[in-house]
Chain A
Amino acid sequence: MNLVALKCPHCARELPSAPERRIFVCDECSRTWRLDSIARALELVPRRILNPVRPLPPAGRIVLVPFWCMTVPEETIRSSGNRLPSEMRIPAIGLQRSALLLRWAEQLSRVRDPLGESTPWRKLESTPGPAPEPAEIAAEDAYDLAELLALQMVKGWPPEAELENWEIPFSSLELVDWPCVHRRGELEELIFGRATADALVGDRVLADQRYRIQSLESVGA
């Protein structure tokens, strides 16, 4: 039996925990941690903020919603008759409203455009502001959700008999923070302009990151 203390390996501060959450964010240094593959210690999860493409609206809270992004291999896209998107984008929060989560994930995954510029969190270490949002959905669950969604999006592929166990060999899984504006009961993302009901996040209050987003330019993003 092994015990892993939930202390930030970088600054030794206690990591806030929540039931069934296996991704931890340090309030002090804003680093994100998860268990390493042999479950012996915590390892760093690289994380970056997507630069908003749309102008920041003057009203509303600017929040960062964590997303898991993973690439669909070319070969798999070809085998589906080019009907699969090249990247699956799964919100890492809101599992309690899985229908909303999957609908938003589908909308964002169907957009073929790339996500554009981004800024790693380590560049923002000196910028004061709230820590990134902890991801509620672990990477393994994100893979499962992405497969679930991809197979629902493409009808008639793969053969029905294999549908239940078909695996998509996703690559380059990455945790990104997607800038969104939270206003009038909606969460509207600031890259493609797709919105979803804010019921997705339930009672959770996402931190206002307007200052941090505005400072992205000053750090050379």
Chain B
Amino acid sequence: MSPETGTVSLRCTSCGGWLDQTKDPGLLDCAHCGLGHLQLVGESIGIYEPVGRLGRRRASRRLHAGLRERGVKGASLEAAQLLHVPFWQIEGKLVGWQRFGRPVETKVRRDLDGIELPLKEIEIEERSISQPLLSSIAACDSRQLGLLGIAHRAQQMRMRPFTPDETGEDAVAVVLRGAASARRQARDAHIAKLCPRNARGLVQRFALLRCTSRLLYYPIWKFRYVSAGRHHGAVMDGMSGELLEGSYPHVLRRTDQGWFVAATASAFLAGLAGVLGLFFLGGWMFHRLRRSPNASSVADLAGWLSSELTPSREETRPFGPRTEGHT
């Protein structure tokens, strides 16, 4: 165990010192003697996790704070589990060329009536492309967790080597997508953005050079909590504490009754109690009945009336919108 990080780390093959990560995902340097090491797993990839994830207590506090911000008080936590979600981080340089035709207005032709018509010619254009590529591709189904990609989340984070088999009670999502497939997807997604406008007969060839891929296990907290007797779930970014997915109870306060009471009171004060009171009551019932899902069922009129006249109503709302696309 590393004394600094509390996780399993890799040791130098020469002096036994701890190995630190470098800018290169596959390269580790000994903190003691400085000897470089190539870290190779399967397809020569390194496996990492970000440093500084939220612990259980801090994550729970963040959840309660997040719920309070949304007006939910008195929620009690039932279960919390840390889940390590794998993402491929693909980095490289995309080099290639494109050849295509572009319509260019070159001449003006007059037709028989003397009307000018533009003549378009196709001009062949060839261009070289060389761009850095940095992309994150989910290695499992991360959409259900509210995450599509983590490229911008992980950009400023320090990483350390991670061993999926030694996580104790924490859950580790299974890697379903291989590195080659992730590289292809990252490459294709980038090339798709390079398609020139108004191009005709595009032919192209690209190579992804100096491509490095590393598997990054991103921490996610999954919560189950109870509020007002109902069960809810929440998914939290284990680094930033942002609530990504799940639901919370939201209390809707009714203003309809207030308007009704105010209208009736005004009518009484004006001495038009009978006529105006009935008019407002009728109008209000007609309006609510039309909007109610039970409007067609006369038998449920009593139920409808009681639900309409209760002072507040509770509904379940999802946490914030999904914030990120991949890359």
Contacts and interface: CB of A to CB of B under 8 A. Distances in A.
A160 interface: yes
Interface of B: 10, 12-14, 19, 22-24, 27-28, 34-41, 44, 47, 93, 95-97, 99, 128, 130, 163, 201, 203-210, 212
Interface stretch (A71-79, A145-153, A186-194, A207-215): A145-153
A1 to B, nearest CB: 5
A164 interface: yes
A198 interface: no
Contact of B203 (A20, A98, A163): A163
Contacts of B13: 3, 5
A144 B207 contact: yes
A76 to B, nearest CB: 16
Q: What are the 8 tightest A-B residue pairs by CB atom distance, in nearest-first order?
A: A144-B207, A19-B24, A6-B36, A98-B130, A17-B36, A4-B38, A141-B209, A2-B40
Interface of A: 1-7, 14-15, 17, 19-20, 22, 35, 39, 95, 98-99, 102, 137-138, 141, 144-145, 147-148, 151-152, 155, 160, 163-164
A24 to B, nearest CB: 9
A97 B179 CA distance: 27
A103 B120 CA distance: 32
Contacts of B47: 1
B210 A95 contact: yes
B207 A6 contact: no
22 contacts: A1-B39, A1-B41, A2-B40, A3-B10, A3-B37, A3-B39, A6-B36, A7-B35, A14-B36, A15-B36, A19-B27, A20-B24, A95-B93, A98-B128, A99-B128, A144-B207, A144-B208, A144-B209, A145-B207, A148-B97, A151-B205, A164-B204
A95 B37 contact: no
Interface residues of chain B: helix, strand, loop or mixed (majority): strand
Nearest to B29: A17
A141 B94 CA distance: 11
Given A14-B36, A151-B205, A99 B130 contact: yes
Nearest to B204: A164
A5 B11 CA distance: 11
Contact of A152 (B44, B97, B201): B97
B210 A6 contact: no
A145 B203 contact: no
B35 A6 contact: yes
B40 A160 contact: no
Nearest to B43: A39
A182 to B, nearest CB: 23
Contact of A148 (B39, B40, B205): B205
A19 B23 contact: yes
A144 B130 CA distance: 14
Nearest to A35: B38
B323 to A, nearest CB: 30
Nearest to B22: A19
A95 B92 CA distance: 11
Given A39-B44, A147-B207, A98 B38 contact: no
